[in-house]
């Protein structure tokens, strides 16, 4: 199968699917909307490989970037921007600096009109070249990732250390994040549903989706379950960055940039993330991007007691917490304390 860049829309209109193409981008420009394509880390790594192999078109196609390049080349002038910033922030600083330099060499050869966009911010990166994770982030960045990071830490804790049936594991996870994180985040809870399920052997679609989601949020890069806290921390950091990429796309689209309305897409080669977004994504309602979330109901769900129970559990907790959640003010500085407590539990459980 040909490798291609995938385009994800994190929050979508209720009316249906959108397709990123020159027609949509041209319509956006006429409406005064700037189309922004946020690059995932794997796209930048592919660009590095192209540059390292001579920056030739054959390498562009081999790395699956040809459809991204062709899309951008067909768009009206100054109608679309590409943004590598979030991907660079995920990398160890020394590697991010090298990646940014190669990104510019790539654009010089294949996308000369995209080297400097009007609202770009030029950054220098210095620091570690490896073993980079949550504890290396700035105070602000830690706060931003704390909820997702903590939830995925607890997801790994329950999956590895709690013995019980799938529904018991899900309830344990839900209780844990309610008590410890004090926020029921729909994306992380949907991830947990698929991670804990044990689908029937004839549910091939659910089995494959479960495998991919577990690989992304519960397993190391070698495809094995973690055996120590450092491995759990790395898994949680990478998973939190994936979720943060989706959240940021929604925030930028809601708030705009420098007074300019945005239509934000994510370019990635991560099929696991793209498939998750096909079964779970946010929707635009009441003039707000990402205000609500929706998930796909598979035919197998209607016959499976597990899915009925997890949906009921989540719905009941959400209803019971609604007035409390809507009346309180979240203290974002306290979120780092939440993450630190989750880290300590992981260290005690795995080391």
Q: Give me the residue label for tokens 């609500």.
A: 292
Q: Report residue 269 as tokens.
A: 């080669």
Q: How many helices (H) and strands (E) does the chain have?
A: 14, 7
Strands (DSSP E) along the chain, which ranges? 6-8, 11-13, 33-39, 80-83, 261-268, 280-285, 288-295
User: What pLDDT shows up at residue 123?
Assistant: 56
User: What pLDDT shows up at residue 114?
Assistant: 81
DSSP secondary structure code for residue 257 in this structure: B
User: What pLDDT shows up at residue 129?
Assistant: 58
Q: Report residue 149 as tokens.
A: 């990071």
Per run of 10 residues, the mean pLDDT along the chain (length 351 residues) is: 84 80 95 95 96 97 96 91 90 90 94 65 58 90 96 98 95 96 93 90 82 93 93 96 94 91 95 88 78 76 85 92 83 91 98 92
Read off φ and ψ for residue 193, nearest 5 degrees. Answer: -55, -45
């Amino acid at each position: 199968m040909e490798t291609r860049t995938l385009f994800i829309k994190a929050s979508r209109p209720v009316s249906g699917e959108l397709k990123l193409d020159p027609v949509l981008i041209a319509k956006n420009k006429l409406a005064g909307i700037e189309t922004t394509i946020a690059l995932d880390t794997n796209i930048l790594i592919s660009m590095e490989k192209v540059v390292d192999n001579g920056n030739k078109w054959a390498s562009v196609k081999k790395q699956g970037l040809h459809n991204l390049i062709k899309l951008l080349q067909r768009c009206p002038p100054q109608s679309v921007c590409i943004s590598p910033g979030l991907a660079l922030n995920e990398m160890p600083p020394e590697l991010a600096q090298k990646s940014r330099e190669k990104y510019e060499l790539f654009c010089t050869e294949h996308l000369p009109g995209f080297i400097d966009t009007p609202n770009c911010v030029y950054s220098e990166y210095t620091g570690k070249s490896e073993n980079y994770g949550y504890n290396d982030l700035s105070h602000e960045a830690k706060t931003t990732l704390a909820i997702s990071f903590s939830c995925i830490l607890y997801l790994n804790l329950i999956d590895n250390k709690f013995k019980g049936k799938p529904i018991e594991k899900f309830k344990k996870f839900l209780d844990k994040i309610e008590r410890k994180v004090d926020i029921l985040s729909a994306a992380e809870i949907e991830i947990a549903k698929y991670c804990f399920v044990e689908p029937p052997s004839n549910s091939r679609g659910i089995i494959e989706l479960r495998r991919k989601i577990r690989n992304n949020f519960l397993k190391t890069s070698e495809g094995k379950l973690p055996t120590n806290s450092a491995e759990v921390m790395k898994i949680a950091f990478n998973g939190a960055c994936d979720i943060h990429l989706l959240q940021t796309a929604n925030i930028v689209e809601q708030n705009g940039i420098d007074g300019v309305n945005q239509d934000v897409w994510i370019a990635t080669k991560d099929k696991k993330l793209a498939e998750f977004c096909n079964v779970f994504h946010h929707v635009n309602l009441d003039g707000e991007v990402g205000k609500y979330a929706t998930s796909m109901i598979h035919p197998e769900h209607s016959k499976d007691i597990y899915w009925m129970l997890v949906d009921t559990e989540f719905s009941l907790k959400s209803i019971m917490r609604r007035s409390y959640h809507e009346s309180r003010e979240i203290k974002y500085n306290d979120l780092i304390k939440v993450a630190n407590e989750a880290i300590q539990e992981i260290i005690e459980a795995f080391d």
